[in-house]
Structure 1
Amino acid sequence: MATEATRKPTTAGRAAIDRRHLRLDRWWLAPATTVGVLLAFIVYSTWRAFADADYYAAPYVSPFYSPCLSENCVDMRDGPNWALFGDWWGLSPALLILGLPLGFRLTCYYYRKAYYRSFWASPPACAVAEPHKSYSGETRFPLVLNNSHRYFFYVAAVFAVILTYDALLAFRDSSYEWGHMGLGTLLFLANSALVWAYTLSCHSCRHIMGGKLKSFSRHPVRYRLWTWVSRLNGHHMTLAWVSLFSLALSDLYVYLLATGAFDDPRLF
């Protein structure tokens, strides 16, 4: 018969288990994959952002460089070269804009979960204890900046409009005549649609649509929008990854065309 001493745990409120966790599956595979994919994108996008070359192949412009805001952009004729920074900006024009959509993704609720678990192991997986001894949440710098996500949403919506404009310009040929459709045109259309879907599936967008409403019956239009965005929100994780791949693929496609690796296959 167990005595009172044997029934008490060695640590109050916690079972006396020496192992860090009891999971027997490959729980580490998901965070490791996330680290690998995000690091690959970071390395690729950093290289392309600082390359300052091979980002335009008529009529396509890389999404990493659009809109081109300095005088040192390549000749885009009536394309998206706005030259707001004039000729004093000597660095890659991609550095003028990439920080804004990047801020939207860095503060995204899903991406926070992804890099908290994968890079910081906070926690690395369900039912696996994290190695940190203290937890401050998002109350200190730099994580407190994640509270600005709702403002980055408005900026991201502007960039989605710009990518849609680029997709429309992709219906021109290399002589800037309308009526062209190449493989790049389809790629740019798909990319803009995926970026829109990811942006609109954002939790901040869902809150804007109906988060403060006390009565849906008095706001039927906003209720329908909230319902539609809520359905998108259920696929936010998938859209976050797929749109990230489509952005990188669109830039790579333009790079290959600009370097002469192949010609854009024309569909009509």
Structure 2
Amino acid sequence: MATGTEPHPQRGGVHNPTRAAITARHLRTDRWWLAPAATAAGLLAFVVYSTWRAFADTDYYAAPYVSPFYSPCLAENCRSMPHGPNADLFGSWWGISPAVIVLIFPLGFRLTCYYYRKAYYRGFWASPPACAVPEPHRRYTGETRFPLILQNIHRYFFYAALPVAGVLTYDTVLAFRDEDHAFGHMGLGSLVFLVNIVLIWAYTLSCHSCRHIVGGKLRHFSRHPVRYRMWRVVGRLNARHMLLAWASLLSVALADFYVYLVASGVFDDPRFF
């Protein structure tokens, strides 16, 4: 026999009858929706741009600059690029853009990143959209079910992101060479690449997984002074993880766009010497 106290089958979360009976959707009076809307717009813009550039398969090299989306080359169809760490692991059978191979690792690293999870959970899934604003979903299962349980492989994407950052560092060094492969060249693109790689490394090393790897399992910091100092450095970077996430996302897109403009002949790379 029904007693009138059973939970309604169509209600859950904060609207469960066992919770306070507040009829208002929320009690906030500020424009709380601006932050998740701006986050969704920024991430969506990057997704659209990176997808276009990844499948364009053109205008990704302008000596001595190679787009960070296309390096290293892991397929035969970008052998025309006269410099760079071209491993050619996939051979000629890979018919689509080689950037698709490369972007799997940095994008996987960012998609599973703790900050980006918060960003797109709020911006796209409204889970929850903002503090003190209940999510519209009936149930909350967190990251215990497919596909969100795959977020737990973030550490392994961190390992994969390290060699990618190493390759981009190599490309940055090559950005200071001239057409004769002699060092001493510095153009506007050289500075763009330098800023980008600094932000890429800062974002990568500020990762929560990096902080845990460096000092997460230590019981006595006094017995591991070197790792303790490293942990403190990573901790200071970690405090700015959100800022570094957005700054590096913007810098890598700008670096690619700069190469695209120079390679497509929109303008010549200004040189300082």
| Aligned-residue offset at 1:96 | 1.1
Identity, in percent, stands at 72
Conserved? CA contact 1:64–1:94, under 8 Å: yes
Superposed CA deviations along residues 123-146 of structure 1, whole A, max 9, x for unmatched, are 000000110000111111111110
Correspondent of 1:134 among 136, 139, 146: 139
Q: Which residue number in structure 2 is paired with residue 3 of structure 1? A: none
Correspondent of 1:229 among 231, 234, 240: 234
3-state SS of paired residue (2:192): helix
Conserved? CA contact 1:56–1:74, under 8 Å: no
Q: Which residue number in structure 1 is paired with residue 90 of structure 2? A: 85
Instruction: Give the RMSD, CA atoms, in angstroms.
Output: 1.2
Q: Which residue number in structure 2 is paired with residue 45 of structure 1? A: 50
Take 1:80 and 1:45, find their aligned partners in 2: how far apart are those partners? 21
Superposed CA deviations along residues 37-84 of structure 1, whole A, max 9, x for unmatched, are 111100000000000000000010000000011111052223232212
Take 1:79 and 1:214, find their aligned partners in 2: how far apart are those partners? 43
Conserved? CA contact 1:172–1:178, under 8 Å: yes
Take 1:22 and 1:183, find their aligned partners in 2: how far apart are those partners? 50
Conserved? CA contact 2:71–2:84, under 8 Å: no
Unpaired stretches in structure 2, ≥5 consecutive residues: 1-15
Q: Which residue number in structure 1 is paired with residue 4 of structure 2? A: none
TM score, norm. by length of structure 1: 0.94
Q: Residues 12 and 85 from structure 1, CA distance in 2 versus in 1: closer, same or farther, beyond 3 angstroms?
A: closer
Take 1:166 and 1:66, find their aligned partners in 2: how far apart are those partners? 8
Conserved? CA contact 1:100–1:156, under 8 Å: yes
Q: Which residue number in structure 2 is paired with residue 58 of structure 1? A: 63
Superposed CA deviations along residues 87-143 of structure 1, whole A, max 9, x for unmatched, are 121110001111111100000000000000110000000000110000111111111
| Aligned-residue offset at 1:24 | 0.5
Take 1:144 and 1:15, find their aligned partners in 2: how far apart are those partners? 31
1:259 is the counterpart of 2:264? yes
3-state SS of paired residue (1:238): helix
Take 1:133 and 1:40, find their aligned partners in 2: how far apart are those partners? 30
Correspondent of 1:35 among 22, 34, 40: 40
Take 2:40 and 2:103, find their aligned partners in 1: how far apart are those partners? 21
| Aligned-residue offset at 1:13 | 5.6
3-state SS of paired residue (2:30): coil
Take 1:193 and 1:264, find their aligned partners in 2: how far apart are those partners? 21
Q: Residues 218 and 175 from structure 1, CA distance in 2 versus in 1: closer, same or farther, beyond 3 angstroms?
A: same
One-letter identity of the residue aligned with 1:28? W
Correspondent of 2:249 among 231, 237, 244: 244
Conserved? CA contact 2:109–2:161, under 8 Å: yes
Take 2:20 and 2:93, find their aligned partners in 1: how far apart are those partners? 65
1:172 is the counterpart of 2:181? no
Q: Which residue number in structure 2 is paired with residue 158 of structure 1? A: 163
TM score, norm. by length of structure 2: 0.92
Correspondent of 1:205 among 205, 210, 225: 210
One-letter identity of the residue aligned with 1:55? Y
Q: Which residue number in structure 1 is paired with residue 101 of structure 2? A: 96
Correspondent of 2:126 among 121, 131, 152: 121
Conserved? CA contact 1:69–1:85, under 8 Å: yes
Unpaired stretches in structure 1, ≥5 consecutive residues: 1-10
1:146 is the counterpart of 2:151? yes
Take 2:56 and 2:208, find their aligned partners in 1: how far apart are those partners? 34
Q: Which residue number in structure 1 is paired with residue 10 of structure 2? A: none
One-letter identity of the residue aligned with 2:142? G
Single out whichever of 176-185 and 57-66 deviates more from structure 2: 176-185
Take 1:122 and 1:20, find their aligned partners in 2: how far apart are those partners? 15
Conserved? CA contact 2:122–2:130, under 8 Å: yes
